[in-house]
Structure 1
Amino acid sequence: MSTASLLKSAKVAASPAAGLFTDDSHTTRCAWCQATPFYRHYHDSEWGFPVDDERRLFEKICLEGFQAGLSWLTILNKRESFRSAFANFDAEQVARFGARDVKRLVNDAGIVRHAGKIASTINNAQRVIELRKEFGSLGAFVWRLEPEAKTRPARITHEAVKAMPTSPASIALSKDLKKRGWTFVGPTTMYAFMQAMGLVNDHIEGCASRKAALAARKAFTPPRVS
């Protein structure tokens, strides 16, 4: 789910700036993660930090597709069940799933039982294999579309993030994936993916995790097309 959507639904407590909240330990965070400690842990340790791991990238694209029409917290709470159901999002294994697997997954109460999204995950796993042949890795494919700093807002504020449900980079990524046969990869979904995987850092100015995510990106070497 994109931060623009998350911010609209978050109940913002009194905070130093719009879009932030401060908990009992006096830690200031983006307001969208305040619902549970589990959500805050995801915000603090994963969201916005750069990722090149193939499994995690594929997992996130799939889970963003499953999230459509639901809250991200709902998906996050089911993530371990999704991992079990989809072979830990190993693309090679998921690409071999067939009709029997679809039937099994539609009956799996631990995940979102949407036949179209299940079929999409299998389809997209097959497309991952194709991408690797051309680009070397899924990571190399997506990181080549990391937006340049000059195309980003000068300051990441509550209002700036609300105004970015998509971006030129997420639109380009969505179009490219759709052209290659991927499904459930619209531009809003792809912007949420880019936010989560650290291709952009949308932790709001004043959030305690913003500097940590920036430092992680500085130390990170993006995968390149081989």
Structure 2
Amino acid sequence: MAGVSRLQYTPEIKIVRLMCTGRVDPALVAKAFKKGIDGLMVVGCYFGDCHYITGNHQAKAKMDMTRKLFKFIGLNEDRLAFRQCSSGEASVFVELVSEFDQKILDIGPLGGDGDTVKAPEIFKKLEAAEAVLAGEKIRWIIGKRTPFLETGNMYGEVFTEHEFNRAIDMIIVEEMEVQEILARLKETARSVKDLANDLTIPPARVFRYISALKRKGMVALDTVAGQTPIFQIARQEV
């Protein structure tokens, strides 16, 4: 409608149309940032107006979770936004786009002064974030948001919004730490102590992650240096 109404907005914006914002994949959002975009805004219909019933609710939950993850890795979470307007509100859409564009200009380029972690390190963090967002655990917990808040889990325990957000926070921390461990092991074989020092994670927690990854066949023992086990990425059989 903005084009039909001859309303102008910045040419810096690239519009990607989807049938429903509920189809936005958080892993693709991280991938887009990894490729160098400075900001991304998801604009969906108003709650109650979704043709797919809960698509916009799902989209907001996904973007809220992705913003949490971005903040955790040192990326300014305001680079990602979720907004709402109807297809007939051309002027509202242009206003939303213009406001977001100005905010991104104020924040600055990706990995610059507007982010806690700078380039090129932020791109390594985004690669790990993409893997986390593509993982089963994070997708499962987001998919369970509505039933957990409304009807409860298999034991009938209903979560509060605060409790659910705390669970997401814990999963984000654990999954990011696991992905960063895997990234380090892809570079070279390392000991638990080396990984703990590199990533500033308590050695006991690193050992727990390594043990779990070994059980899954993702990590294997490379050698033993003195009395120190050295681990590597497990070789996949063809």
Same fold (TM over 0.5): no
Higher fraction of strand:
2
User: TM-score, normalising length from structure 1?
Assistant: 0.28
Q: What TM-score results when the alignment is normalised by the length of structure 2?
A: 0.27
Q: Which has the higher contact order (CA 8 A, sep 6+)?
A: 1
